[in-house]
């Protein structure tokens, strides 16, 4: 899986098929910034800062501790495609 930018959008090249993903910014209840990853209308997960560390949480509730946003995106997209029917 390869993450690329195409015309200002985040895309994932999976073999010959590309998936368009959107990364939106928001704030949680405590006012912390977080990024929400969406494919179409579906929310895939979110990446947020927790105690000076980044954590990516999938919409299934699985939490990944990541070093940077790119790693979080890869983990969330891998988890999404793993459980996609």
Domain boundaries defined on the chain: 23-83
User: Which pLDDT belongs to residue 45?
Assistant: 93
User: Which pLDDT belongs to residue 14?
Assistant: 57
User: Which pLDDT belongs to residue 20?
Assistant: 80
Splitting the chain (85 residues) into consecutive groups of 10 residues, what average pLDDT does each group show? 64 65 83 86 89 88 90 87 63
Helix, strand, coil in percent for the chain, rounding step 5: 20, 55, 25
User: Which pLDDT belongs to residue 47?
Assistant: 92
| Residue 52 Cα to chain centre, angstroms | 19
Residues 56 and 42 sit within 8 Å (Cβ to Cβ):
no
User: Which pLDDT belongs to residue 80?
Assistant: 82
């Amino acid at each position: 899986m390869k993450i690329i930018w195409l015309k200002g959008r985040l895309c994932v090249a999976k073999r010959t098929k590309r998936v368009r993903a959107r990364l939106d910014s928001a704030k949680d209840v405590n006012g912390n910034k977080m990024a929400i990853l969406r494919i179409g209308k579906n929310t895939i997960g979110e990446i947020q800062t927790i105690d000076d560390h980044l954590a990516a949480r999938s919409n299934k509730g699985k939490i990944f501790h990541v070093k940077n946003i790119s790693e979080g995106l890869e983990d969330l997209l891998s988890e999404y495609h793993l459980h996609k029917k």
